[in-house]
Amino acid sequence: MSKAAVLFLLHDNIHVLERNFAAVDARMQRTFGEVVYCIYENDSTDGTAEWIADLAARRTDVHLLSEVGYRPARADGSWTPWRLERMAACRNRCLDLARRHAPDADCAIVLDIDFASFDQVHIADAIREIDELHPRWQALCGSGMSQLDLGVFGSVMRVIPTRGDLPVRLFDIAALRTDPPQDLLATAAMVRPAYEPPMRVRSAFGGIAVYKPDVLYALRYEGGDCEHISIHERMQEVFMSHKLSPLMVALGD
């Protein structure tokens, strides 16, 4: 039976934490024979730290590191040097936990816990597909959807694109890089069905990504840009799967 390390960060997520952890846990337990959670939390003030500490005390498969004393990553804005450095540092704390507690994992899954829906995340199918099509793969990134947050284009778009009465569901493109470079907004709007094969990319992160642990564990996240870009661009075989599509921002939220 396969073993998965699941890594995520927490900061003031109590409003979705119980519901979303239950959704993730149910999916992981159905998919893998053994699951190890590696969670880094810092400076929460809304009950997140207490909730996750209680869970870790009751479950031997949950490994937690909580810290206090840091300014929020977004203290100076979304794309500032401090946020980029801080996010990389938080991911590296989480990665250290995985190296320590899941050194023998068959795959490592990095995800964002603040999703709106996990219904379109089909991990077993995505891994089976990439194993068959590209057996030397190293990273399989999600094509997570955003309905309100238009990423880097949000502040410059006067009109949110629509199909019928609803906003176009865009890929989360903050970490998306293609080779050769493409018009990312056009790429983001090309919502594909789950049966479409994975797309080779330089980087992507739509709220979730699956990694070969021997590749991920050998690297460190870096600041200076989105932390996912910094780590993907040092890998050789990176893909984006349409079977891994969490909804990251709910319509109307």
Please say whether the beta carbons of 244 and 140 come within 8 A.
Answer: yes
Asked whether the predicted pLDDT for residue 200 surpasses 60, the reply is yes
Give the integer Cα–Cα distance in Å for 185 and 171.
Answer: 9
Q: Long-range contacts: 22-27, Cβ < 8 Å, 24+? A: 23/118, 24/111, 24/113, 24/118, 27/118, 27/121, 27/123
% of the chain at pLDDT higher than 70: 81
Instruction: For domain 1-114, give the CATH number.
Output: 3.90.550.10
Domain locations along the chain: 1-114, 116-253
CA distances from 40 to 98, 169, 209 (A): 11, 30, 17
Residue 195 is predicted with a pLDDT of 74
Residue 182 is predicted with a pLDDT of 66
Please say whether the beta carbons of 62 and 56 come within 8 A.
Answer: yes
Q: Collapsing DSSP states into helix, strand and coil, what is residue 249?
A: strand
Residue 245 is predicted with a pLDDT of 84
Residue 252 is predicted with a pLDDT of 34
Nearest-CA neighbor of 84 among 50, 92, 158?
92
CA distances from 182 to 96, 140, 244 (A): 34, 19, 21
Mean pLDDT to the nearest integer, 146-159: 46
Nearest-CA neighbor of 65 among 114, 137, 8, 122?
8
Give the integer Cα–Cα distance in Å for 94 and 110.
Answer: 9
Mean pLDDT to the nearest integer, 186-194: 59
The better pLDDT of the pair 95, 189 is held by 95
Asked whether the predicted pLDDT for residue 170 surpasses 80, the reply is no
Provide the pairing of β-strand 139-142 with 107-111: unpaired
Please say whether the beta carbons of 213 and 108 come within 8 A.
Answer: yes
The better pLDDT of the pair 68, 252 is held by 68
Asked whether the predicted pLDDT for residue 120 surpasses 90, the reply is no
Asked whether the predicted pLDDT for residue 253 surpasses 70, the reply is no
Helix (H) or strand (E) holding 81: helix 81-101
Q: What is the pTM of this model?
A: 0.88
Q: What is the pLDDT of residues 236-251, one digit of tens each?
A: 999 999 899 887 754 3
Token pair of 14 as six digits? 């109590």
Token pair of 168 as six digits? 């176009």
Nearest-CA neighbor of 238 among 207, 198, 206, 182?
198
